[in-house]
A and B are shown apart, each in its own frame.
Chain A
Amino acid sequence: MLAFTPFASTLGGALIGASASLLLAFHGRIAGISGIFGGVILPKRGDTEWRVWFLAGLVVTGVAWRIFSAASFGAPVAQSLSLAVIAGLLVGVGTQLGNGCTSGHGVCGISRGSKRSITATTIFMGAAALTVFVVRHVLGAS
């Protein structure tokens, strides 16, 4: 899975766009995973059911996919548990403070031309690229 994969990635992206479109057209909702996830683990009355069904579809498909095509899932690169915990905390805190992640800002927000989403996407891509640069080329891991 480490080769250049423009066709598979475009097809996968198109499916993500189709999913976001279904949710918006039928429910008027934005397919932002961090927001949907937050609304499930800390439910608000009357606004939880659709989130639970969406996450259920996501997780069930992931588990089934794993059975038939394990090669789609790479091993975690943050192998140490402490690094995984730090990264998880940063992703949880950052996406909630910034009101979105790769899907909510990067796909849905940019499609709307949202100034906030364009700014957020630029910043998190930049911060992520800088992090990978430091980890790989300054600290020299992997």
Chain B
Amino acid sequence: MRRAIPFLAGVIFAAGLCISGMTDPMKVQNFLDFFGRWDPSLAFVMGGAIAIHLGVVIWAKRAEKPLISDRFVWPDLVDVDARLVVGAAIFGVGWGLSGYCPGPALVSIGAASRPLVAFLIAMAAGTIGVRWSVEADSEPRHFSPQGSRRNTQ
């Protein structure tokens, strides 16, 4: 179950992206092109996803713990800060330029076009760069030899 559920979730997520149109960068750009050939289809992706997910979120907020895990892991941060605003803006520019956000880019890997591979390598590099600099800034205690939190999952 600990492997099957995440794997199944990945399969369903990928199928959803492929069916929805999110894996077509031109369609994504058309969705974002409010002043040109605006195609509102992808708003229905978010609508459909939230409609299904909302009920489970309401249940999860009241439940003591998940079905096969110790606890719900909710994000620690609650306030809007500069890092969130700047990060979201940077992500938006990259999404608009390429038509790829992380999920569709990873799902499209089978296409293996040169621009997509270049995009994915750069996305990984950007991810590593930020995670390294953030950890160097704020989490020195992670270097403790005990390697705390061994059983968070």
Contact = CB atoms under 8 A, between A and B. Distances in A.
A51 B41 CA distance: 29
A55 B103 CA distance: 9
A74 to B, nearest CB: 3
B73 A89 contact: no
Main secondary structure of the interface of B (DSSP, over half): helix
B49 A13 contact: yes
Q: Which of B51, B74, B87, B123 has the most CB of A within 10 A?
A: B123
A120 to B, nearest CB: 4
B126 A1 contact: no
A107 B50 contact: yes
Nearest to B129: A93
A124 B153 contact: no
A75 B39 CA distance: 18
Contact of A22 (B5, B97, B108): B5
Given A15-B19, A61-B11, A27 B6 contact: yes
B62 interface: no
6 contacts: A10-B47, A57-B10, A73-B108, A84-B118, A89-B122, A90-B93
